Structure 1
Amino acid sequence: MQRILKYIISENTTPVTILDFLKKEGFSRHILSSMKNTPNTIILNGERGFGRSVLKPQDHLIVTVPETESGENIIRTKMDLNIIYEDEDILVINKPADMPVHPSAGNYENTLANGIAWYFAEKGEDFVYRCINRLDRDTTGALILAKNPLSAAILSVQMKKRQILRTYLALVDGLLPDSGTINAPIARMEGSVITREVNFGTGESAITHYERLAAGKEYSLAELHLETGRTHQIRVHMKYIGHPLPGDYLYNPDYRRINRQPLHSYQLEFTHPTTGKVMLFTAPLPIDFISAFYSNPLK
């Protein structure tokens, strides 16, 4: 989706080239290269600007970020989407269970990407699917989509630098300790393309912090924070310390109270990619998660 940004250069700004200014604003090399090959993407004080043009205080700069990709190959599927927030740069969704995030073999029309493609087609807007924080198929909760190349570039950098703070809630078997940190590397299990395990020989660094919020007869309610983002990290780590998530078909297929792993992306905190404001979003817990916990009485 094309994005147009307008800047008024501050009185306190030291003269700087447009190219250096845009780099500081988070424009990636790929975006700057696409702008170079697209006419009229930079307008300085009403006239065409160039990367080496020097900006001075009170200059007016209009920048068009061109769309460089296409979302036409994603099949549009009508879905009821739970949108938490939307503006020109981001879309925050409360993802339900049993919904893959991306199309894959056997999942061509039932993914979040298909629903998003339909949503923007109905609005008459072009949209390229750019998911920032990925969730497993049965993991629910808050998920960020970038609506243009610039917001995607800036948010991706925040993810790599661990500046997007993610809070998860999960139900786990047994009485979880009050709090703790799991520092155990994770690798793909030999002979499987999906299942992961803790492996101190071949695994990649993985760190999870947890705190017990409440306890029931069978389950504990845990709050979890990730320092890393390995595949199935929470599910693998909780099994490793003897408190797996119930209903997890890979790591603990106990479906007595819930038929999928009760893991929820509860809260996301990050800096908005263009305004610089701190954003905080919370996704309400799904009914099956709540029911599973309260079906075993609190201690």
Structure 2
Amino acid sequence: MQLKSPVPNIRLDKHLTQVLPQFSRAYLQRLIEQGYVLVNSQKAKASQKLSDNDTITVELPPIPGHPLAESIPLAVIYEDEDVLVIDKPAGFTVHPAPGHPSHTLVNAVLAYCPSLTTSNDLMRPGIVHRLDKDTSGLIVVAKNDLAREYLTAQFKSRTVTKGYLVLVKGRLSPEQGIIEAPIARDPHNRQRMAIVEAGKEATTKYQVRRYLNTYTLVEVTPLTGRTHQIRIHMSAIGYPVVGDPIYGIRSAHLSRQFIHAYRLGFRLPSTGQYREFISPLPADLEQVLEHLARNA
């Protein structure tokens, strides 16, 4: 595709995020670096300033029409003819995306369940909600179209029960509360989300579980499902998530954010019966709590 620059002196990567909003700035920067973006038929840099008569040529690399099945171990804690409930480890992306076409939960599920529905989204078959790559815990996958519609309706009506165990820096006070702050993409850094007045409504409930010296283990219930919601909201009230490199604080004892989706409840598509599933804290997070308890 060929694009004209309507605004003189704008950075190339910023201009592309405005005219191609379906792609993240990080992805577009990779395209520029890899030579898929030309300015006046010449290779360019992301920081290059544009003139009003520049011609920008963008070649989008091919994205597979359907993710491939990959034999990757899955911790399936419940299965029936309609759904899978999976205990996802940290470091595992949920679905393929530009720049990350393989070794995702979807690739693993396609190998585990070859008949999985694909009509909703070729790149996200069966996916009705997501967890961040470095968040561990429970995720439900629909095995057919009727189950996907049934589960999606529950998420939209906010009748799905979701509970997360989160470690934050500081002694959280008050011990329970509700955080309400709208979230949107950060206007100054499109790789981040932020609290933005014109953003989508976002609501998070929390309850202190345990104090550990200058840290707090919190049970968090997001009532909406915005990207990075827990991480942004906890940081906004002054209690950043431990191990979160973007909105929180890094930890010498943890290589990822301390967020675990430990509880998930919903009505089964086959029977309409409500079922709730629990996932224990994984070993890396338990070790952090044990270390803090010993040094309290």
Q: Distance in 2 between matches of 1:232 and 1:184?
A: 13
Structure 2 residues not aligned, in runs of 5+: 1-63, 119-124
Letter in 2 for 1:90: V
Task: Specify the alignment match of 1:84 in structure 2.
Answer: 77
Q: What SS does structure 1 have at the residue aligned with 2:102?
A: coil
**Pairing of 1:31-50 with structure 2 (within 5 A):** none
**Pairing of 1:104-253 with structure 2 (within 5 A):** 104-121=97-114, 125=115, 127-128=117-118, 129-177=125-173, 178-199=175-196, 201-253=197-249
Q: Deviations over 1:158-199 (max 9, x none)?
A: 100001111111111111121111011112111333311112
Task: Specify the alignment match of 1:270 in structure 2.
Answer: 266
Asked whether the 8 Å contact 1:219–1:293 carries over to 2, the reply is no
Asked whether the 8 Å contact 1:218–1:296 carries over to 2, the reply is no
TM-score where L is the length of structure 2: 0.72
Q: Distance in 1 between matches of 2:248 and 2:288?
A: 15
Asked whether the 8 Å contact 1:264–1:285 carries over to 2, the reply is yes
Q: Distance in 2 between matches of 1:293 and 1:238?
A: 19
Q: What SS does structure 2 have at the residue aligned with 1:252?
A: coil
Asked whether the 8 Å contact 1:171–1:245 carries over to 2, the reply is yes
Q: Distance in 1 between matches of 2:208 and 2:116?
A: 44
Q: Say if 2:251 is the partner of 1:258.
A: no
The 4+ residue runs of structure 1 with deviation greater than 4 A are: none
Asked whether the 8 Å contact 1:120–1:127 carries over to 2, the reply is no
Asked whether the 8 Å contact 2:116–2:126 carries over to 1, the reply is no
Offset of residue 133 of structure 1: 2.1
Offset of residue 108 of structure 1: 1.4
Q: Distance in 2 between matches of 1:92 and 1:207?
A: 25
Offset of residue 72 of structure 1: 7.7
Letter in 2 for 1:226: P
Identity of aligned residues (%): 38
TM-score where L is the length of structure 1: 0.72
Asked whether the 8 Å contact 2:240–2:249 carries over to 1, the reply is no
Q: 1:78 to 1:161 in 2, by over 3 A?
A: same
Offset of residue 270 of structure 1: 1.0
Q: 1:161 to 1:217 in 2, by over 3 A?
A: same
Letter in 1 for 2:102: E
Asked whether the 8 Å contact 1:212–1:223 carries over to 2, the reply is yes
Q: 1:151 to 1:126 in 2, by over 3 A?
A: closer
Root mean square deviation, CA, Å: 1.7
Q: Deviations over 1:7-52 (max 9, x none)?
A: xxxxxxxxxxxxxxxxxxxxxxxxxxxxxxxxxxxxxxxxxxxxxx
